Amino acid sequence: MTDWPRIRSVGLSGLLITFAEKMSEPANRAALAFRAAVEAQDWPEVTETSTSLVSTFVQFEVSQDAIAKMTDRLRALLQTRDWFAEALPAGRSLWHVPTVYGTDLAPQLEEAAEAAGLDPDAAIAELSQSRVRVLTIGFAPGQPYMGELAEHWDIPRQQGLTKSVPPGALVVAIRQLIIFTNASPTGWRHIGQTAFRTFRPGSEMPFPLSPGDELIFPSITRQEFERIADDPTGGAEQEALT
Amino acid sequence: MSALTILQAGPAMTVQDLGRPGYRALGLTHGGAADPIALHEGAALLNQDPGCAALEMAGSGGQFSADSDTRIALAGAQMQVSIDGEPVAWDASHLLPAGATLTIGGARDGAYGYLHVGGGIDIEPVMGSRSSHLAAGIGQPLASGDSLPISKDSGGETSQTLPRDSRFGAERVRIVASMQTEAFDEETRTRFTNTTFRRDARANRMGARMDHDGDGFATGGQLTIVSEVITPGDIQITGDGAPFVLMCECQTTGGYPRIGTVIPCDLPIVAQAQPGAALRFEFIDLDEALAAETRHRDALAALPKQRQPLLRDPARIRDLLAYQLISGVVSATADPFEEDKT
């Protein structure tokens, strides 16, 4: 741990604590755990916190003094433990999100399976049992980047973009999965379709998923999908992780 | 409740207020008016809270009418405007009589014009804000025939005006270093600040691309940068080396390196830059930036004191001949003191 974690200033917005140069499971866990620890400090100056893949962002009203003071506090908090060995924060959920793999609803399953060196049935069997974590939320509200899948799923993004995948699309690349919030062009391959809405403005739970939550995508048939297609929860079940 | 009806909608009109903070961790940026200064100006003109929601009109306005006498204020990019065919002033408040037609045309010196109503637009807030955030799927562009409820107006003067602000057509945009500034070598940073950019035609509430002649502004390790938090004002360098200023409705995280970040009080300059407008970026240090922000906040708070009664421009008074304009005329040859002698 020579250079890491690093503390850098983010314009006039606050400070960023970065745990690694690249995405890794321990660095992501460290960022999630450190954010929870900052929140628990309840420092009155802090107006907002968030995480990206391997960083924790702490927003506060900056000044030279405030930056110096906050940097000292963050350093002190960083030194209290080995964040790479820290457990994930409490209060997370495990979600089961029913998913149709392949068919006309998700036309790139075969292509993605081939890129991962699997036949389509083996790919479905593996994907439908893989348990992934919300590494970060971004790009669109509530939109999860989940991982990491087994190493053979380290498949590149496509050269050309798919013009549009619908909301609820499950896509794969670089050992990660995304459920799209809104219809969007993407370089990731569309392997499954869920009816799960990741952003529900106006509802009691506008953002069902939080960073650190875990998900499983059990395989369902096209017929089963039609029954849940109009339900914003997409037939998903949520259980508390302790 | 009173309502403002959109008789004819411009291409990109939305309801906006000061935005929806607090959801970055869940992937939703702050949003709100592209030019928040214009919200403060409209509020100052109507003597109401700057948090009141207004209509944001990108590029051009539309036609409107209200079902009761309504105080309105016009702020932001100057647009041609008339009430029942009679031109009225921009940067000013007016009384829009019930049933009159308010016509707002194309923007002349900026990108976003704002129509404020006394009491504010009272659509149902979503997560604490009335702002549309189209990129996120909150709200929608306003369409002809839409009717927007107006909150009760506590009332006040109209025919008030504010001086035109200097942000329209400004070229100099102040920036501060951010977390990836050091990833660009000094030569690149110097070249960046010595370049005069032109705002690309492709600009919206998410971001504005900057065009220039010459090489791009790549970092050494451009492709390996892990996705990091974005704050509005960040200037990301995309794959082709072109700078892209991220605006109020940008994403919350992104993998392109940021060369710097526009200080919040100068971001409206970028928002209001017209296609092709020249812009230059200048690094300032933290203390200078904080001082600029403090001055800006003070200036916003002092806006109500800048309010002045609107003087009518005789050239724009259609029924000019109905006015008595010649009383008190004097003869050049008469002795002005003669009268007194009698």
Has residue B342 got a pLDDT over 50? no
| Residue burial B269-282, b: 16+ Cβ < 10 Å; e: rest | bbbbbbeebebebe
Has residue A98 got a pLDDT over 70? yes
Number of residues that this document lists for chain B: 342
Please state the rounded mean pLDDT for residues A119-123. 97
Mutation to test the A interface, candidates B124, B130, B178, B228, most A Cβ within 10 Å: B228
Mutation to test the B interface, candidates A39, A51, A52, most B Cβ within 10 Å: A52
Please state the rounded mean pLDDT for residues B123-129. 96
SS3 A199: coil
Ranges for all domains in chain B classified under CATH 2.40.100.10: 172-284
Has residue B143 got a pLDDT over 60? yes
Please state the rounded mean pLDDT for residues A19-41. 96
Please state the rounded mean pLDDT for residues A190-214. 95
A93-240 under CATH 2.40.100.10, yes or no = yes
Please state the rounded mean pLDDT for residues B194-206. 95
Chain B environment of A4 (Cβ under 8 Å)? none
Specify the range with the lowest mean pLDDT, choosing from A100-114, B208-222, B286-300, B317-331. Answer: B317-331
Instruction: Quote the CA–CA distance of B259 and B315 in Å, as a whole number.
Output: 49
The total of other beta-carbon atoms located within 10 Å of residue B164's CB is 11
pLDDT of residue A157: 87
Under the banding of pLDDT at 50, 70 and 90, the label for residue B316 is low
| Residue B163, CA distances (Å) to A37, A104, B106 in order | 49, 60, 21
- Contact at CB, A139 and B253, closer than 8 angstroms: yes
- Residue from the list A22, A51, A137 with its beta carbon closest to the beta carbon of B226: A22
Has residue B340 got a pLDDT over 50? no
pLDDT tens across A53-70, in order?
A: 999 999 999 988 999 999
pLDDT tens across A131-188, in order?
A: 999 999 998 999 999 999 999 999 988 878 889 999 999 999 999 999 999 998 999 9
The secondary structure element, H or E, covering residue A112 is helix A109-115
Specify the range with the lowest mean pLDDT, choosing from A193-202, B60-69, B233-242. Answer: B233-242
- Contact at CB, B27 and A140, closer than 8 angstroms: yes
pLDDT of residue B298: 96
Has residue A90 got a pLDDT over 80? yes
CATH of domain B172-284: 2.40.100.10
pLDDT of residue B304: 96
pLDDT of residue B240: 84
Which residues lie below 8 Å from residue A134, measured CB to CB, with a gap of 6+? A144, A145, A146, A209, A210, A211, A212, A213, A214, A215
**Phi, psi for B36 (deg, rounded to 5):** -65, -25
Assess contact for B307 and B44: CB atoms under 8 A. Answer: yes
pLDDT of residue A34: 98
Under the banding of pLDDT at 50, 70 and 90, the label for residue A207 is very high
Under the banding of pLDDT at 50, 70 and 90, the label for residue B219 is confident
Pairing between β-strand A214-216 and β-strand A93-96 as defined by DSSP bridges: parallel
Please state the rounded mean pLDDT for residues B197-218. 93
- Residue from the list B24, B226, B227 with its beta carbon closest to the beta carbon of A50: B24
Domain ranges of chain A: 6-85, 93-240
Q: What is the mean pLDDT of chain B?
A: 91
Please report, rounded to a whole number, the percentage of residues in chain B having pLDDT higher than 90.
83
pLDDT of residue B111: 97
Instruction: Quote the CA–CA distance of A105 and A3 in Å, as a whole number.
Output: 46
pLDDT of residue B55: 98
pLDDT tens across B60-110, in order?
A: 999 999 999 999 999 999 999 999 999 999 999 999 999 999 999 999 999
3-state SS record for chain B: CCEEEEEECCCCEEEECCCCCCCHHHCCCCCCCCCHHHHHHHHHHHCCCCCCCEEEEECECCEEEECCCEEEEEEECCEEEEECCEECCCCEEEEECCCCCEEEEEECCCCEEEEEECCCECCCCECCECCCECCCCECCCCCCCCEEEECCCCCCCCCEECCCCCCCCCCEEEEECCCCHHHCCHHHHHHHHHCCEEEEEEECCCEEEEECCCCCCCCCCHHHCCCEECCCCEEEECCCCCEEEECCCCCCEECCCEEEEECHHHHHHHHHCCCCCEEEEEECCHHHHHHHHHHHHHHHHCHHHHCEECCCCHHHCCCHHHCCCCCCCCCCCCCCCHHHHC
Gap from A119 CA to chain B (nearest CA, Å): 31
pLDDT of residue B329: 54
A6-85 folds as: Gyrase A; domain 2 (3.30.1360)
Which residues lie below 8 Å from residue A231, measured CB to CB, with a gap of 6+? A195
DSSP A219: B
Pairing between β-strand B147-149 and β-strand B3-8 as defined by DSSP bridges: antiparallel
Instruction: Quote the CA–CA distance of B288 and A105 in Å, as a whole number.
Output: 55
Mean pLDDT comparison of A123-137, A151-165, B238-252, highest-scoring range: A123-137
Please report, rounded to a whole number, the percentage of residues in chain B having pLDDT higher than 70.
89
